[in-house]
Structure 1
């Protein structure tokens, strides 16, 4: 085998490695983008879950507040009626 043939063979082998690594790099970069998007979606889902929990808690607190307000009004009316009848 001539030196030229040997050099061309080595160069083709190197080119195969280069093309393989370049395609792997592109695949990994695409995967990185997908993972970042997935992470953002996961964070968004987590944030949405937290918002839902806070909305539910707010509803419960509002309900409690309304119930307490009704109890205060009832107690006040009872106290007023007790004072006026006494």
Structure 2
């Protein structure tokens, strides 16, 4: 690791760990100090796993009367209720 790139690599590693841990893009935007979510997604969007199956699971649970799991789905469901 060259000394000039260390801060950038540490920031990228930090954001990558947050994404891998399931943190929402909005929280990552704030933690990284980005002025817009577009910047965050342009830089780190490729690190987000495909969400097709997760989306199907959330909708299936909602229609089956079950509760979505803790995490991003809770924020989505809270937004719908508001």
- Normalising by the residue count of structure 1, what TM-score does the alignment of the two structures yield? 0.28
Task: Indicate the structure with greater helix content.
Answer: 1
| Greater RCO, CA 8 A, separation 6+ | 2
Query: Which has the higher Rg, Structure 1 or Structure 2?
Result: 1
